[in-house]
Structures are given as C-alpha cells and as structure tokens.
Amino acid sequence: MRELREQMLADLQLNGAVPSTQKNYLRIVDNLAKHFNRSPEELGENELKEYLLYLMKERHLSEGTLRFYVAAFKFLYRTTLKRELAVENIRYPRVKRKLPVVLDISEVESLFAVTKNLKHKAILMITYSSGLRVSEAARLKLTDIDSKRMMVRINQGKGGKDRYSILSRTTLDHLRQYWRKYRPTVWLFEGAENNDHIAARTIQCVFHAAKKRAGIKKPASVHTLRHSFATHLVETGTSLHHVQLLLGHRSPTTTTVYLHVSRLNLAQVTSPLDRSAKQIS
C-alpha cells in the first residue's frame, strides 16, 4: 500500500494537482483501503460501488463530496493502476442545483459596521469587494495588492489558476489603515504562527461572529460574500462575461446562476396581486 500511495502521489504531482487535491485524493484512497482492509489493487468495480453506497446511505455525504470521491477513484484506477475497466461504469452523482444565499448590500455594510477590529474588517471587506474564496483571502500576500492598477492578484486559486480581480478604493483605504497598525511583512493577513498566513477557519469564525452581531438570520457563510459580490455586480449592469473572469469560473454556465438571484430583471415585474390591490381594498 505504501508503494501505491507514493506512486499515486507522484502521478498527481506530474499531473499538476494542487497540494490540497493531492492530500484529499490520498486520504480518500486510504479510507477505501481501511474500509475493506485490503489494498485498492485487490478491489474492483463492485467494491467501489458498494463503498460509494455506504458513503451515501450510512455516512450521508453530499453529492458534491461523493463526486470528489469518484474523481479520486477514477484517477487512481485510470492513471496509477492502469485499470480503466474498474471505474468505466462508475458515474458522477448528479449535483442538485441550489440557488446561493445572497446578502443585501445593507446587510453587507452592517457586517462591516459591527466589526471593530481593523484586521477582521479588512479581511471581510476584501473578501466581499474582490469576490474571493475564503482560501484565497487567507493566502493573499502584500505583493498581491496592486494599488496602481487597482487590482488584486489571486495566485493558484481553485483549479490551480491565477487571475486578477478588482480592488475597491474603499477597501484599499482600509487596508492602508490596517497595514499602519499591524505591519504585516509577507502575508497580508498573518496567522498565529510565525511566517504563516491566517487560517481559513479563523476567517469563517470572524464572519459568523460579525453575522451574529449584525443580527443577520439568513443561513449565510463567508462564501456568501462572494455570491453577494457577483449578484450585486449583475444587478448594477456588469456583464456575465466580466463577472465570470473576476470569479475565475471555467464555464459561463456556472456564472449564470447569479441571474436567478439577481433583482435586475425581476424588479421591473409587478405582482398581479399588486395590480388588483385597489379592487381588493
């Protein structure tokens, strides 16, 4: 099993998989081996399907998580073990399309208003105003803030892709206040340990604490700031193509979800009940 693990790791690295994907794929394969108490080399299609059903019915894993398991299995058997037949008939679970939770701009502003800590406010502001994922906000470096071009560079985002997003003037002003007080050297938001960036989990805690203080009842997470950024751009007339580039979406189809939660077109529609309100009253 150790040799198989080392070979899979080498294959992942040669294929350009980011460290987090390498770690998660290896963990999934380790769990598969522990479940059957056998090396994956000795398993086939039937065992893989049995394990996926166990994860679905006993562990109650989401469709998105199950898709990640299937991806790991397909990589293992196709690339490392060269056994395409073992995964040929294993399909990715269909993911249910859910509309994202979106905060109104007044709710976003209330999050900032109740956050008095300069560092915490800076984190929330740049996460929202540049449409960042929490992991991207955590790994920002000082050199990623381009104040001359008013842009933020995101290095190795999801899928190992670099991109640029916009830098808000309001956020830049606050970042300068933050820098004067905290004087970070490499990472924009330093963590508790020396020479390390802030943990994504810490940012999540900062968001939930602000959400509670602001009295927001929506089932929002820190990722909601990214959804809100995209939706607010669409509502102010920004093209879907530009929103796609700012978010780093591979497919424009992913970005179109924000049309469904935007009030841009719906604001022009009047409910038939309101049209007949005079007759009812």
Domain assignment present for residue 124? The answer is yes
User: What percent helix, strand, coil does the chain show, rounded to 5?
Assistant: 60, 5, 35
Average model confidence (pLDDT) across the chain: 89
Domain assignment present for residue 250? The answer is yes
Domain assignment present for residue 280? The answer is no
Say if residue 75 is in the same domain as residue 123. no
Say if residue 260 is in the same domain as residue 121. yes
Say if residue 118 is in the same domain as residue 254. yes
Last residue within a domain, chosen from 86, 113, 136: 86
The CATH number assigned to the domain holding 182 equals: 1.10.443.10
> Across residues 56-60, what is the average pLDDT?
92
Beta bridge partners of 164: 153
Say if residue 67 is in the same domain as residue 9. yes
Domain assignment present for residue 92? The answer is no
Is 258 part of the annotated catalytic residue set? Answer: yes
4: pLDDT confidence band, cut at 50, 70 and 90?
very high
The CATH number assigned to the domain holding 52 equals: 1.10.150.130
pLDDT for 278 beyond 60: no
Residue bearing the bigger pLDDT, 266 or 96: 96
pTM of the model as a whole: 0.74
Is 133 part of the annotated catalytic residue set? Answer: yes
Say if residue 75 is in the same domain as residue 168. no
Domain assignment present for residue 127? The answer is yes
- Total domains in the chain come to 2
The residue from 120, 139, 197, 226 that is catalytic is 226
Residue bearing the bigger pLDDT, 47 or 237: 47
Residue bearing the bigger pLDDT, 17 or 11: 11
Is 158 part of the annotated catalytic residue set? Answer: yes
105-128 pLDDT, tens per residue? 999 999 999 999 999 999 999 999
In the chain, what percentage of residues exceed pLDDT 90?
71
- Structure confidence at residue 7 (pLDDT): 94
Domain assignment present for residue 277? The answer is no
235-249 pLDDT, tens per residue? 888 888 898 899 988
Say if residue 126 is in the same domain as residue 227. yes
pLDDT for 198 beyond 80: yes
Domain assignment present for residue 94? The answer is no
Say if residue 115 is in the same domain as residue 202. yes
Say if residue 78 is in the same domain as residue 212. no
Look-up: residue for tokens 């991109």?
A: 163
Say if residue 22 is in the same domain as residue 129. no
Beta bridge partners of 165: 152
- Structure confidence at residue 227 (pLDDT): 94
* Burial grade of 179 (CB within 10 A; 0-12, 13-18, 19 or more): middle
Residue bearing the bigger pLDDT, 275 or 120: 120
The residue from 74, 141, 158, 263 that is catalytic is 158
The residue from 133, 163, 174, 211 that is catalytic is 133
Say if residue 39 is in the same domain as residue 141. no
- Structure confidence at residue 270 (pLDDT): 61
Say if residue 70 is in the same domain as residue 126. no
* Angstrom distance (rounded) from CA 69 to CA 52: 8
Domain assignment present for residue 254? The answer is yes
> Across residues 151-165, what is the average pLDDT?
84
- Structure confidence at residue 56 (pLDDT): 92
Say if residue 131 is in the same domain as residue 258. yes
Q: What angle do CA 184, 187, 189 make, to 5 degrees?
A: 70
Is 153 part of the annotated catalytic residue set? Answer: no
User: Which structural domain range is residue 254 located in?
Assistant: 105-266
164-187 pLDDT, tens per residue? 999 999 999 999 999 999 999 999
What are the structure tokens assigned to 37, written together? Answer: 């108490």
Residue bearing the bigger pLDDT, 20 or 96: 20
